[in-house]
Chains A and B, each alone.
Chain A
Amino acid sequence: AQSVSQHNHHVILSEAASLELGCNYSYGGTVNLFWYVQYPGQHLQLLLKYFSGDPLVKGIKGFEAEFIKSKFSFNLRKPSVQWSDTAEYFCAVTPRGNYGQNFVFGPGTRLSVLP
């Protein structure tokens, strides 16, 4: 079974700082990878996803993530955060071709951006 770890429980940054949130997974086969975001009081929504092709994927609101297969990592980045990026971020993985089964989420990283 796959598992997902996220390096940081809570990250605090000032506006305009650069962001990198770590995500590592364990699974022997090929995977689909996701980052979800949960803004305060709102429901989870997809930030970006990787299925295949270019390992650098771009998502909404200036976020991007890079899949490094050799490191089993899918870190989320943003060059300059805004106060509105304050939210909880979840990395998720599912084996490719599993027809929707076995979505596994990481424990989440809470990001607080100070104005």
Chain B
Amino acid sequence: GAGVSQSPSNKVTEKGKDVELRCDPISGHTALYWYRQSLGQGLEFLIYFQGNSAPDKSGLPSDRFSAERTGGSVSTLTIQRTQQEDSAVYLCASTSPRGGPSYEQYFGPGTRLTVT
């Protein structure tokens, strides 16, 4: 498709379980971002990828959170041993290639994670 896609759109999980969230960026976009948006809160930066490497992991809230990107395309955000405070909408965004004319971020629809 033409836009950023994320799956699943909704995920309900029990406390303590692991979850995987997936992001498919726009084809050709080399930069990819993960954010978390809690109810009534702004966007909390989690991690940034340039290609397959993550030069900035400063936003990951704990070692239960990890992310990877393979082939410079799809990215997976994994949350281990989920806690109720992990409940949020997880957003993925990608930007046009390095050196391109625009650093506009294109956002996906998000994954709504509910930890019960």
With A92-B105, A105-B45 already in contact, 4 other A-B pairs whose C-beta atoms are closer than 8 Å: A43-B108, A44-B107, A99-B98, A101-B55
The chain B residue sitting closest to A6, CB to CB, is B42
The answer to whether B103 touches A94 (Cβ under 8 A) is: yes
A105 with B42, Cβ < 8 A, contacts A32-B103, A43-B108 known? yes
The answer to whether A104 touches B55 (Cβ under 8 A) is: no
Interface residues of A in 14-68 (CB under 8 A from B): 32, 34, 36, 42-46, 49
Which single member of A36, A100, A104 contacts B98 (CB below 8 Å)?
A100
Question: Does A83 have its Cβ within 8 Å of any Cβ on chain B?
Answer: no
Q: How far is the CB of B103 from chain A (nearest CB, A)?
A: 5
B63 surroundings in chain A (CB, below 8 A): none
Which single member of B42, B103, B107 contacts A107 (CB below 8 Å)?
B42
Task: Write the residues of chain B forming the contact surface with A, with a CB cutoff of 8 angstroms.
Answer: 30-31, 33, 35, 41-43, 45, 48, 50, 55-56, 91, 93, 95, 98-99, 102-110
Interface contacts (Cβ under 8 Å), in number, total 59
Q: How far is the CB of A101 from chain B (nearest CB, A)?
A: 6
**Majority secondary structure, B binding face:** strand
Give A83-115 as 1s and 0s: 1 = Cβ < 8 Å from B's Cβ atoms: 000000010101000011111111110000000
Cα-based distance from A94 to B107 in the complex (angstroms): 16
The answer to whether B56 touches A107 (Cβ under 8 A) is: no
B91 surroundings in chain A (CB, below 8 A): 43-44
The answer to whether B104 touches A102 (Cβ under 8 A) is: no
B42 surroundings in chain A (CB, below 8 A): 90, 105-108
Which single member of B31, B48, B55, B104 contacts A34 (CB below 8 Å)?
B104
